Amino acid sequence: MVTAPRPSLHLEGVVLPGEESRDLWVRDGRISFDSVPGATTVATGCWLVPGLVDAHNHIGLEPSGPTVDVNAQRAQALVDRDAGALLIRDCGVPVDTRHLDEQADLPRIIRAGRHLAPRRRYIPGVAMELDDPAELAAAATGQARAGDGWIKLVGDWIERGLGDLAPCWPAEAIQDAITAAHEAGARVTAHVFGADALPDLISAGIDCIEHGTGLSTDLIDELAARKTALVPTLINVDNFPSFAAAGEAKFPGYAAHMRRLHAGAREMVASAYDAGVPIYAGTDAGGSLAHGLIAQEIAALAGAGITPTDALAAGSWAARTWLGLPGIEDRAPADLIAYDVDPRADLTVLGRPARIILRGIVVA
């Protein structure tokens, strides 16, 4: 990435997650705790938060399906950026978005390659569809090489013959795929709505569960013991009643199941939080949801029983650590947001950033 010379900046405020008010500077795109002569002051008396993280996002997907329109992809990324999401974990798209990495005004993206699903067991045109479970391990290795340290399995989806959610893979294929991905240096996550697919995924050593609405108390305890992450995507789970209504005429069992999962979703998140499961904020933007909703997902986590500070951490400093990026530290990349009000006391302020600084540039 080639960037134009960046001006030196000065900010003063409470640096979260701490309580200390201090001065910091930005020089050559990086944070400095040492004074930088001639820096332009851009924020004072504020609360400084490491750039927000949307840990489940699909830049390159639209409600109608994949988009190869590079302008549309850029527009999606800009909406997320202006909402404060300066780091995005892409959770699977079938199109190449790496050209976005060359645009310094767009969020950083960590990619998971394509979803891996059995034939006709996921959204048409989105996943790499496999005819034989024996192919899954090799496909996992391939997607590990194509991504940025993550791969994405489709753990369950509607089985038309059954008329309800059902696991997509046998236990042996899951174990082989997760082992192969780990050997290739990638972590593994999986889309899972129901309960039946979860035991095999968790026992095989999966690194993260997306949605997880079928998690029981026993499985939550196992996630906590293994430190397996959960990204609940609550604002997307709130679409389950509409998913149920759309499928009710043909699959009434599925529709009833989805309504039950929706009804218990927030209680599940509260139980996982109380058990010590690592929880991170992700919107599932790009399918049925618009981009730019990370503040709403953080608020939804707080509404489910997570403390406001921990909900903010789930979409900021804790999520950045999980994904391998620093927060507000000396010499760290200058990706941060200034708010006029302490967001821990009022999460609605996340929708009203005073300054957004990405790669050392005030972008919004």
- 8-state DSSP, 279: B
Residue type, 94: P
In terms of domains, do 128 and 103 share one?
yes
Q: Does some domain include residue 3?
A: no
Residue 22 is predicted with a pLDDT of: 96
Question: Dihedrals φ, ψ of 11, to 5°?
Answer: -135, 155
Closest among 98, 92, 106 to 61, alpha carbons compared: 92
Residue 64 is predicted with a pLDDT of: 87
Closest among 83, 19, 148, 86 to 353, alpha carbons compared: 83
**Sheet architecture: strand order including 52-57:** 52-57, 85-90, 108-110
Tokens encoding 177: 């795929």
In terms of domains, do 77 and 205 share one?
yes
In terms of domains, do 215 and 355 share one?
no
What is the residue range of 15's domain? 9-50+327-362
Residue 288 is predicted with a pLDDT of: 86
In terms of domains, do 170 and 227 share one?
yes
Q: Which residues of the chain have pLDDT under 50?
A: 2
Q: How many CB atoms lie within 10 A of CB 202?
A: 20
Q: Does some domain include residue 310?
A: yes
Residue 306 is predicted with a pLDDT of: 98
Q: Does some domain include residue 189?
A: yes
Q: Does some domain include residue 201?
A: yes
Q: How large is the C-alpha radius of gyration of the chain? A: 20
**Domain containing residue 264: CATH number:** 3.20.20.140
- Rounded-to-integer distance, Cα 106 and Cα 83, Å: 12
Residue 1 is predicted with a pLDDT of: 55
In terms of domains, do 111 and 216 share one?
yes
First-to-last CA distance in the chain? 20
In terms of domains, do 262 and 301 share one?
yes
Residue 4 is predicted with a pLDDT of: 63
In terms of domains, do 299 and 334 share one?
no
Count of domains forming the chain:
2
In terms of domains, do 123 and 251 share one?
yes
**Domain containing residue 343: CATH number:** 2.30.40.10
Closest among 21, 9, 26, 5 to 333, alpha carbons compared: 26
**Which residues, in sequence order, are CB contacts of 218 under 8 Å at separation 6+?**
none
In terms of domains, do 78 and 210 share one?
yes
In terms of domains, do 231 and 181 share one?
yes
In terms of domains, do 160 and 63 share one?
yes
In terms of domains, do 283 and 154 share one?
yes
Q: Does some domain include residue 4?
A: no
83 close to 104: Cβ distance less than 8 angstroms:
no
Task: Give the three-class secondary structure for 271.
Answer: helix
Q: Does some domain include residue 154?
A: yes
Q: Does some domain include residue 242?
A: yes
- Rounded-to-integer distance, Cα 149 and Cα 201, Å: 18
Question: Looking up tokens 């930005």, which residue turns up?
Answer: 26
Q: Does some domain include residue 2?
A: no
